[in-house]
Amino acid sequence: MLFERELRNAVKNALIKLYKVDISSDEISIQPTRKDFEGDLTVVVFNLSKLAGKNPETLGNELGAWLVGNEREVESFNVVKGFLNIIIQKEAWIRIFTDACMDEDYWVCKPDLMMANHPVLVEYSSPNTNKPLHLGHVRNNLLGYSIANLLQASGNKVQKVNLINDRGIHICKSMLAWMKQGNGETPETTGMKGDHLVGKYYVAFDAIYKAEIEILINSGSTEEEAKKKAPVILEAQEMLRKWEAGDEETVALWKKMNAWVYDGFDKSYKMLGVDFDKFYYESEMYLLGKEIVQLGLDRGVFYKKQDGSVWVDLTEDGLDHKLLLRSDGTSVYITQDLGTAKKRFEDQKFSRLIYVVGNEQDYHFKVLKLILKKMSFDWADSLYHLSYNMVDLPSGKMKSREGTVVDADELMESMIQEATRITKELGKVDDFTDQEANELYEMIGMGALKYFILKVDPEKRMLFNPEESIDFNGNTGPFIQYTYARIRSVIRKANKTASIKLEESYSSADYAAMNEKEKELIKQMLKFPFVLGEAADRYSPAVMANYVYELAKTFNQFYHEFPIVDEAAIPTSKFRLLLCDQTSKTIKRTMSILGIGVPDRM
């Protein structure tokens, strides 16, 4: 935090000078002063009072007096119940703020050139190609995209990658059902989005499957047997074998239906505003696992059973034995991930590899990392599983097969419709062209959705109630967008006057009578790089979301209380205009990390 380090050192010196007590500076606790007290920074003196042999009250007063006498920027102090509140000179705040306004580097972390050849890989989205995206994927995509932005903004070179699960039994199920019931339907003939069309047949497969299971059960099979013996599942498995054998017809159908899905995903990604630097396909990666299995066997980390299956013993790490290769020689899920990780390191020499994957796979990634460490790849420690929690409905967990999923496309559509309705009702777009208005509806609707999801800490499970629409008032995306538009509007107004308009440079001597709200705004803006750092460390866009909300809120209070453009008070107006401009920039910058756009008018 601003001034924190300086104050820490000053307190350390004071303790030496006053009491001959020398302690390490991180034993000194400094925090921003709470709102209800006067001050900028607060030194907690309880633990110091023991060392100095003074009671907290006396120590606070003596320390405060010393700081005022010896530190130029400390203006005054007060002591309340063992808390030493320090007041920093207004001039210092203004000077630092105006300097920061003219210094891009304050707000943007320059990329570290040393690390340019060691990018951070962020893997996210990673959908299956048998059904459209749902709300869970939305959280994944928004988080992944935003975290990539976050890391980039804090100086990393970032590569966004999407590992598409395009092969396996699930896609065979859709293919099979389409062959049986599709009558040659395509996205073109039906007008359906490709991913939804394929999803329709995935559901159709399940219906056939269930019906067959029931018949088998009625004719005396147990449920377990029936699930294994149903003709349609056997057909799907046969299809998978054909696919692996490269059967032309099967591969052609697979390519055709996957292409439909990709076309659909493209549209959803575009609407979500997310993108990728590179796509990987499991169909191209799944064989990589075998190499690593051989390597593990060579190194004696893995072992082979009689039946030919390959395992790793993790019991000494408190886990179990884990299968790495089936007895028939085919690879399992984790085998692919092992191979893929190794290949990625060889190709990219990443400094970090971040997997944005739901917390139901915590165990998987724990094992993945552990195995790589056992194989003594030193980059294994650079793997990080960004484990986010589920989105729940009031009825509980979303389940594809029970039809209780919230479809991503429908959700986005309904958000935009809601934005349209409210915007029209408020009469905000009477002078907009149709195109401008539509762009605005989309920006607001998507802003509401994205903010709603991103403001929640990734580790926490969150609840979405489809019955209640997402708010547009209060702690929401539109509130922040509105604040931005409001500021831009003020600046447009000021720029019409010759005397106040926004200028390139600003001399800090113009305004000394800064009020409390102005100071609060300045403090919040100067906090930006610290907040960014914290958000990046914690991989948490929620930190940025909560920050920008606080900033917007503070601005609105300031806006309400003080006139900005006033030709009878030009120096004040100019200073306030600078505050406005910088607030809007900070809002825009933060929102863009969240992947949310802000409008000039709304």
Partner RNA sequence: GAUCCCGUAGCUCAGCUGGAUAGAGCAUCUGCCUUCUAAGCAGACGGUCAGGCGUUCGAAUCGCCUCGGGAUCACCA
Binding mask 109-138 for RNA (x = CB under 7 A): -------------------x----------
DSSP conformational letter for 134? B
Stretch that binds RNA, among 28-36, 179-187, 207-215, 404-412 (CB under 7 A): 28-36
Query: Is residue 300 near RNA by the rule CB under 7 A?
Result: no
Binding mask 262-281 for RNA (x = CB under 7 A): --------------------
Q: Nearer Cβ to RNA, position 508 or 556?
A: 556
Q: Nearer Cβ to RNA, position 158 or 310?
A: 310
Q: What is the smallest separation between the CB atom of 597 and RNA, expressed in angstroms?
A: 13
Q: Nearer Cβ to RNA, position 507 or 557?
A: 557
Q: Please give the distance of CA 35 from its chain centroid, rounded to a whole number.
A: 29
- The beta strands (E) that lie in 17-140 are given as 29-32, 41-44, 74-80, 83-88, 120-123
Stretch that binds RNA, among 64-72, 113-121, 348-356, 476-484 (CB under 7 A): 476-484
Residues facing residue 29 across a β-bridge: 44
Q: What is the smallest separation between the CB atom of 580 and RNA, expressed in angstroms?
A: 9
Query: Is residue 172 near RNA by the rule CB under 7 A?
Result: no
Q: Taking CB under 7 A as the criterion, which residues in 184-223 touch RNA? A: none
Q: Taking CB under 7 A as the criterion, which residues in 373-412 touch RNA? A: 389-390, 396-397
Query: Is residue 508 near RNA by the rule CB under 7 A?
Result: no
For the chain, the helix, strand and coil percentages under 3-state DSSP, each to the nearest 5: 60, 10, 30
Q: Nearer Cβ to RNA, position 192 or 388?
A: 388
Quick one: 257 exposed, middle or buried, by C-beta within 10 A (0-12, 13-18, 19+)? buried
Q: Taking CB under 7 A as the criterion, which residues in 138-167 touch RNA? A: 165
Query: Is residue 479 near RNA by the rule CB under 7 A?
Result: yes
* Number of residues binding to RNA, judged by CB under 7 A: 91
Q: Please give the distance of CA 564 from its chain centroid, rounded to a whole number.
A: 35
Q: Nearer Cβ to RNA, position 250 or 423?
A: 423
Pairing label, strands 158-164, 120-123: parallel
Nearest to residue 25, comparing CAs of 46, 6, 2, 49?
Answer: 6
Query: Is residue 502 near RNA by the rule CB under 7 A?
Result: no
Q: Are 194 and 263 in contact (CB under 8 A)?
A: yes
Q: What is the smallest separation between the CB atom of 218 and RNA, expressed in angstroms?
A: 25
User: Which residues are CB-neighbours of 168 under 8 A, at least 6 positions away?
Assistant: 128, 240, 282
Alpha carbon distance 593, 83 (integer Å): 36
Which of residues 10, 33, 62, 383 is near RNA by CB under 7 A? 33
Quick one: 538 exposed, middle or buried, by C-beta within 10 A (0-12, 13-18, 19+)? middle
Q: What is the smallest separation between the CB atom of 574 and RNA, expressed in angstroms?
A: 13
Query: Is residue 485 near RNA by the rule CB under 7 A?
Result: yes
Which of residues 262, 302, 379, 482 is near RNA by CB under 7 A? 482
Q: What is the smallest separation between the CB atom of 127 and RNA, expressed in angstroms?
A: 10
Q: Taking CB under 7 A as the criterion, which residues in 573-592 touch RNA? A: none
Q: Angle between the 56-70 and 4-19 helix axes, to the nearest 10 degrees?
A: 110
Length of the chain: 602
Residue with tokens 């924190």: 4
Structure tokens at 292: 């690593």
Which of residues 327, 495, 497, 507 is near RNA by CB under 7 A? 327
Residues facing residue 278 across a β-bridge: 161
Q: What is the smallest separation between the CB atom of 224 and RNA, expressed in angstroms?
A: 12
DSSP conformational letter for 113? G
Which of residues 107, 303, 333, 432 is near RNA by CB under 7 A? 333
Stretch that binds RNA, among 135-143, 250-258, 325-333, 582-590 (CB under 7 A): 325-333
Stretch that binds RNA, among 10-18, 108-116, 255-263, 558-566 (CB under 7 A): 558-566
Q: Taking CB under 7 A as the criterion, which residues in 521-540 touch RNA? A: 534
CA angle 417/419/424 to nearest 5° reads: 100
Other C-beta atoms within 10 Å of 31: how many?
Answer: 12
CA angle 520/483/588 to nearest 5° reads: 85
Q: What is the smallest separation between the CB atom of 426 and RNA, expressed in angstroms?
A: 4
Q: What is the smallest separation between the CB atom of 378 and RNA, expressed in angstroms?
A: 25
Which of residues 564, 578, 587, 598 is near RNA by CB under 7 A? 564
Residue 246 region, left (φ>0) first, then alpha (ψ -120 to 50), else beta?
A: left
* CA-based R_g, the chain, Å: 30
Structure tokens at 276: 């990728």
Query: Is residue 77 near RNA by the rule CB under 7 A?
Result: no
Q: Taking CB under 7 A as the criterion, which residues in 436-475 touch RNA? A: 440, 444, 455-457, 459-463, 465, 471-475
User: Which residues are CB-neighbours of 493 under 8 A, at least 6 positions away?
Assistant: 565
Q: Are 544 and 595 in contact (CB under 8 A)?
A: no
